[in-house]
């Protein structure tokens, strides 16, 4: 590398160390996202942690069998409950009641806000999945199509956009939670009793898009 680039060996070693550190931080961010997302999803779908109306109920921080620590143990894997709680508090997904110390879920999905690397890891994964589906449909769509659809209109008034944002978010979240319950019943990590051969990663991604059209585009 020193011969090809003209850099000193010391400088190449320094750059290589930076790359390795970025890779490690990116892997750590992806694992942190996966664990926190699984905990939130488990809180939403697992009836043990729901109230009589099927909604996520407030949990004691620790000590009780059906508390937050147990939620993390069942759905977060081998990670301290305190670390998950700190992360969810930091991103505003949960709150601690100052009166009784119980933990309440505020957001039904985990979205990291503290690290650009975490956000980029999610962006890279989502974009890769979408491109892979497009590529599959171009090559094998006639005999083995994967679902790839969208709904769009291009002459909407500005006043309709906030309503559609709220409507689409609510309907999409409800669908994803329903599919999450089905997938969790068949996933052998979440449900070790479920048997079967091979190992496949599958899911459904939903995204919102919006664009302000220029006067020239509006006339076309």
Contact assessment for residue 80 and residue 73, using Cβ atoms and an 8 Å cutoff: no
Read off the pLDDT of each residue in 166-194 and give the average, rounded to a whole number: 89
Ramachandran category for residue 75: left, alpha or beta (phi over 0 → left; psi -120 to 50 → alpha): alpha
Contact assessment for residue 114 and residue 122, using Cβ atoms and an 8 Å cutoff: no
24 pLDDT more than 50: no
Distance CA 171, CA 136 (A): 27
Label residue 157 by pLDDT band (50, 70, 90). Answer: very high
Distance CA 147, CA 134 (A): 10
CB under 8 Å to 206, separation ≥6 — which residues? Answer: 172, 175, 176
pLDDT the model gives residue 80: 87
Q: Which residue has the higher pLDDT, 216 or 188?
A: 188
Read off the pLDDT of each residue in 115-120 and give the average, rounded to a whole number: 63
- Domain limits, the chain: 2-105, 149-219
144 pLDDT more than 80: yes
Over residues 34-65, the pLDDT tens digits come to: 788 889 988 988 888 999 988 899 999 876 67
pLDDT the model gives residue 33: 66
| Residue 9 to residues 3, 12, 17, 20, Cα–Cα distance (Å) | 9, 5, 12, 16
| Residue (of 122, 119, 106, 126) closest to 44 by Cα position | 106
pLDDT the model gives residue 186: 92
pLDDT the model gives residue 204: 94
Q: Which residue has the higher pLDDT, 7 or 151?
A: 151
Label residue 21 by pLDDT band (50, 70, 90). Answer: very low
pLDDT the model gives residue 7: 62
**What is the residue-averaged pLDDT of the chain?**
82
């Amino acid at each position: 590398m020193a011969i090809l680039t003209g850099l000193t060996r010391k400088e190449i070693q320094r750059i290589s160390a930076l790359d390795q550190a970025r890779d490690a931080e990116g892997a750590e961010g992806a694992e942190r996202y996966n664990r926190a997302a699984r905990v939130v999803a488990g809180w939403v779908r697992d009836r043990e942690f729901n109230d009589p109306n099927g909604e996520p109920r407030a949990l004691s921080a620790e000590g009780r069998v059906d508390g937050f620590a147990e939620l993390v143990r069942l759905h977060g894997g081998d990670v301290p409950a305190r670390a998950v709680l700190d992360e969810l508090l930091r991103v505003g997904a949960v709150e601690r009641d100052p009166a009784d110390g119980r933990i309440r879920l505020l957001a039904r999905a985990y979205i990291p806000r503290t690290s650009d690397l975490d956000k980029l890891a999610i962006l890279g994964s989502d974009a890769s999945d979408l491109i892979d589906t497009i590529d599959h449909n171009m090559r094998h769509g006639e005999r083995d199509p994967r679902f790839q659809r969208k709904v769009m209109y291009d002459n909407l008034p500005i006043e309709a956009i906030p309503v559609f944002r709220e409507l689409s978010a609510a309907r999409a979240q409800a669908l994803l939670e329903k599919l999450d319950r089905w997938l969790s019943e068949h996933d052998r990590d979440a449900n070790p009793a479920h048997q079967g051969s091979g190992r496949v990663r599958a899911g459904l991604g939903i995204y919102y898009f919006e664009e302000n059209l220029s006067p020239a585009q509006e006339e076309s």
